[in-house]
Amino acid sequence: MVAPSLTLVRRLRAAPERVFAAWTMAETLATWFGPHHTRVEEAEVDARPGGSFRVVLREDNGGRHEVAGRYLDITPDQGLVFTWAWQNAPERESRVTVRLRAIPEGTELTLTHDRFADEATATRHTRGWTESLERLAARFATEGMA
């Protein structure tokens, strides 16, 4: 049986190196990461193969969610692969692959999140990633390509 997965493709108005930095610098990640009804309360990023990340999200209603993982592969300005596990279910580890490709208007980002435990989890993450990528696109739309 193949585990459920999701793939999202977005075009961003920023050069690949800026998009890569948005994923690998904690202070930048904190400005866009998470669904619309959340904000990043804490972000730690050690962006190197074998390094780790940890993000604490706070919902508008006060709920707290913590996700963490390890970087499996990092190719500057081209992409990264990392594990993904929520603090309340560390045994349900999945994997996220982010690929960046330069295009005339900026960057094409392809996000694949796979190895989900079940379809319901994949569906919830589709919403979360869709909203996160909307926030990332909005951040670059106001800043432009520079």
Query: What DSSP letter does each residue of 59-79 carry, written as one string?
Result: ETTS-EEEEEEEEEEEETTTE
The confidence score (pLDDT) of residue 20 equals 98
Q: Which of 78, 31, 80 is nearest to 53 (CA)?
A: 80
Q: What 3-state DSSP class applies to 85?
A: strand
Cα separations in angstroms, 7 against 54, 75, 130: 22, 19, 10
For 66, phi then psi, to 5°, come to: -125, 130
Which sign, positive or negative, has the C-alpha torsion 62, 53, 109, 16?
Answer: positive
Would you identify the CATH topology of the domain 6-143? Alpha-D-Glucose-1,6-Bisphosphate; Chain A, domain 4 (3.30.530)
The confidence score (pLDDT) of residue 3 equals 87
The confidence score (pLDDT) of residue 13 equals 96
The confidence score (pLDDT) of residue 60 equals 95
Contact between residue 54 and residue 66 where contact means Cβ atoms under 8 Å apart = yes
The confidence score (pLDDT) of residue 2 equals 79
The confidence score (pLDDT) of residue 144 equals 58
Q: Which residues contact 17 (CB under 8 A, 6 or more apart)?
A: 76, 77
The confidence score (pLDDT) of residue 143 equals 67
Give the orientation angle of helix 119-143 with respect to helix 16-24, to 10 degrees. 120
- What parts of the chain have a pLDDT lower than 70? 1, 143-146
Q: Which residues contact 89 (CB under 8 A, 6 or more apart)?
A: none
